[in-house]
Amino acid sequence: MTISDYTRAPSVGTEQPELAARLQKIWETAPGIGGWLSTVDHKEIGLRYIVTAFAFLILGGVEALVFRLQLSWSDRHLLNPEQYDQLFTMHGMTMIFLYAGPVLSGFSNYLWPLLLGARDMALPRLNALSYWIYLFAGIFLYAAFAIGFGPNDGWFNYVPLAARAYNGGPNIDFYALGMILLGISTTVGAVNFVVTFMRMRAPGMSINRVPILIWGTLTASMANIFAIPAVSLAFFLLWMDRNVGTHFFDTAGGGGSAMLWQHLFWMFGHPWVYAIVLPAMGMVSDGLPVFCRRPLVGYSAVALATVATMVLGFGVWVHHMFATGLPNISLSFFSAASIIIAVPSAVGVFAWLATIWTGRPVFTTPFLFFASFILLFTIGGVSGFMTGSVPVDWQLTDTYFVVAHIHYVLIGINVFPVAGAIYFWFPKFTGRMLDERLGRWNFWTMFVGFNLGFFPMHISGLLGMPRRVYTYAEGMGWDWLNLITTLGSFVFAAGVLMLIWNVLKSVRSGAIAGDNPWDAPTLEWATSSPPPPYNFVVIPTVQSRHPLWEDRLASRPDEARSHPHAGLVLEHGREAIGTDPLDAQPDIILKMPGDSYAPLVFAIAVTAIFIGLLLLAWWLVALAAVVTAATTVGWLWPERNLGETREPARD
């Protein structure tokens, strides 16, 4: 989105084949490797995010299976302590930072412009940059592991254990720099979502008409913009402590503070947990009603609860620090906040239950994933509520009870909705349906495996088993529970494999889907499957939350109707319509940028800066910084063929 075209009022029309052909020429990515590397199409970027996130999910999963074998019985010697420490740290880091957040960015990237009736995200090149940096940050972090110096102090990386004095290798330098790099990706991605929400909604899509997924990703993005600076700062201070002799965290006479790290880390960490579940909850809020054949109960309440969760989520970081010796009076406040944050969650649970109750459920695989999510969400929620009560948390914290809790949250509220979302939106992504029969097997294997593996962890924790131990002595009474957990984790992994198998199989031979195989109500189903590069031939106009169900939901025949297939014609180069933030009244024609190598080059250069910082090679840092600056100029240079200059080329 650069300059606008004020002088022209776009014409209004319907979907014509010759218009579609013209738009195809304007918007399509060049074939071959060049196009692949330079594309800024949000659908391509979204799919890359999802595929990359799943690659990391598999890596993180294999790491977990290896250390589950180690823990399957007392005093096993499959791994030595150092191997165990790297594995559990890599597992946590991978799942939390390289899978759970990015996979949702992938879905949101793919779906947002389609849900909003837009041609692309507001800032397409920034979108490409966000993906490339994510990929390079992931490779950067895994490079450490590959050469034997993976992060090994846990994903929370407490100081002074992570200080040079106690961890002399490059492990933590990799982690610190990789996390700052990843933070750039997340931040620009978040900015893009917020701007897209404000400017790119179809005419008439006022903020009370956007799907709940939009609310989920929007609030998560706002949270990221405020939360990520805290963690990036923390990692930067740590890197300086380790490499240039500062003393921010030096507790051995340097005047530093170990608590500073914990505050900064959890000011980020707690909101982040909500950021990686709210979009997934949004996917359920939008997907579940389709299979209950009615709109979501309590749309406004659920949207407000989403925002309220995030706002409260910034006030509960001390939840993770109840045992650090803070005064009881401040613990009381944070305890109350940690407990009361369950209220908006209850809004969601009862809205979903009511939707099923008052609807007529259709038992498809996505329905099974979405409906089971309600139960898993509740279990993960109540265990979080238990740890919100300080005296109880003093017993539960840092035991396997919390391991159970975090997995019910991250698998129950992220992986299950994501699996459901894959079954739900795969037809839109590929034009083909996933196999339903295999889908049932997939669901039940994952559901049984997950609960078999992770529910017993609550009990191991109540029996006193601490987290992050590479082994435990016999006679503690934890052996059988751990064996069951290990078995369950393998069953769960088999379920995830079935999902991947179903995708690989169906992408070639699945049944042809058509535009709207589920008879769903929102705009992404109004275009073809897969959608063309320009998404919509004409810009749709929206009058309700359910444009494709209006005929059947209308109580009066004269109610205003949405027009998914008729509206503004925008064909002078890559154009999109800009609308105002509240009511989505069109007010500008936006000139969208074309495909470009700039995001890729920029991402490579930024990564090179971080490699330079890792090696303390200042020449490389300087060189890469110069390339970064030069790329920025090229990035922003207006292109005549896209009409980005004042005298647009007429065709």
Partner 1 sequence: MAGASGAKASATLPLTWGVIGVSVAVMVIVAALLALAIWRRPGIALATRMAIGPDKGGTNFLWVGVGISTLALLATIVWTVKVLAEIGKPTVTPALTIEVTAHQWWWEVRYLDNDTRAIFTTANEIHIPTGTPVQFKLIGGDVIHSFWVPALAGKTDLIPGQTNEIWLEADKPGTYRGQCTEYCGLEHAKMAFVVVADTPRDFAAWRSHQIAPDVTPGGGVLASGAVYFGMKCGSCHAVRGSDAAGVLGPDLSHFATRQTIAAGVLANTPQNLSAWIDDPQGIKPGNLMQKPELSLEQRGQIVAYLETLK
Stretch that binds partner 1, among 94-102, 201-209, 225-233, 389-397 (CB under 8 A): 389-397
Name the residue nearer to partner 1 (CB basis): 154 or 530: 154
Name the residue nearer to partner 1 (CB basis): 35 or 464: 464
Stretch that binds partner 1, among 77-85, 133-141, 487-495, 588-596 (CB under 8 A): 77-85
Proportion of the chain in helix, strand, coil states, percent, rounded to 5: 65, 5, 30
Position among 11, 24, 324, 641 found at the interface with partner 1 (CB under 8 A): 324
CA-closest candidate to residue 544, choices 559, 525, 565: 559
As given in the structure block, the two tokens for residue 151 are 């992060």
As given in the structure block, the two tokens for residue 36 are 């692949």
Give the Cβ contact number of residue 33 at 10 Å: 8
Q: Is 389 in the site for partner 1 (CB under 8 A)?
A: yes
Instruction: Print the binding letters for residues 173-212 with partner 1: x by CB under 8 A, - otherwise.
Output: ----------------------------------------
| Least distance (Å) between residue 155 CB and partner 1 | 11
Stretch that binds partner 1, among 61-69, 232-240, 371-379, 494-502 (CB under 8 A): 371-379
Q: Is 382 in the site for partner 1 (CB under 8 A)?
A: yes
Give the Cβ contact number of residue 10 at 10 Å: 18
Query: Cis ω on the peptide bond leading into residue 160 (within 30° of 0)?
Result: yes
| Least distance (Å) between residue 613 CB and partner 1 | 25
Give the Cβ contact number of residue 202 at 10 Å: 28
How many Å apart are CA 43 and CA 48, to the nearest integer? Answer: 9
CA-closest candidate to residue 172, choices 154, 185, 184: 154
How many Å apart are CA 356 and CA 447, to the nearest integer? Answer: 20
Name the residue nearer to partner 1 (CB basis): 378 or 645: 378
Position among 47, 200, 374, 537 found at the interface with partner 1 (CB under 8 A): 374
Give the Cβ contact number of residue 17 at 10 Å: 8
| Least distance (Å) between residue 596 CB and partner 1 | 43
Q: Is 588 in the site for partner 1 (CB under 8 A)?
A: no
Site for partner 1 in 93-132 (CB under 8 A): none
Number of residues that bind partner 1 (CB under 8 A): 84
Q: Is 149 in the site for partner 1 (CB under 8 A)?
A: no
Stretch that binds partner 1, among 151-159, 173-181, 489-497, 534-542 (CB under 8 A): 151-159
Site for partner 1 in 244-303 (CB under 8 A): 251-252, 256-259, 292-295, 297-298, 301
Q: Is 511 in the site for partner 1 (CB under 8 A)?
A: no
How many Å apart are CA 514 and CA 522, to the nearest integer? Answer: 15
Backbone angles phi and psi of 483, in degrees to 5: -65, -45
| Least distance (Å) between residue 230 CB and partner 1 | 19
Site for partner 1 in 609-628 (CB under 8 A): none
Helix (H) or strand (E) holding 402: helix 400-410
Q: Is 353 in the site for partner 1 (CB under 8 A)?
A: yes
Give me the DSSP letters along 68-79: HHHHTSTT--SS
As given in the structure block, the two tokens for residue 117 are 């009736």
Position among 16, 30, 82, 615 found at the interface with partner 1 (CB under 8 A): 82
How many Å apart are CA 150 and CA 143, to the nearest integer? Answer: 8
Position among 235, 492, 549, 602 found at the interface with partner 1 (CB under 8 A): 549
Q: Is 241 in the site for partner 1 (CB under 8 A)?
A: no
As given in the structure block, the two tokens for residue 43 are 């659908």
Q: Is 543 in the site for partner 1 (CB under 8 A)?
A: no
Stretch that binds partner 1, among 123-131, 280-288, 456-464, 509-517 (CB under 8 A): 456-464
Q: Is 436 in the site for partner 1 (CB under 8 A)?
A: no
Q: Is 359 in the site for partner 1 (CB under 8 A)?
A: yes
| Least distance (Å) between residue 383 CB and partner 1 | 7
CA of residue 651 relative to chain centroid, distance: 40
How many Å apart are CA 28 and CA 533, to the nearest integer? Answer: 6
Position among 66, 69, 78, 161 found at the interface with partner 1 (CB under 8 A): 161
How many Å apart are CA 83 and CA 220, to the nearest integer? Answer: 34
Q: Is 339 in the site for partner 1 (CB under 8 A)?
A: yes
Backbone angles phi and psi of 444, in degrees to 5: -65, -35
623 by Cβ neighbours in 10 Å (0-12 / 13-18 / 19+) ranks as: middle
Site for partner 1 in 398-417 (CB under 8 A): 398-399
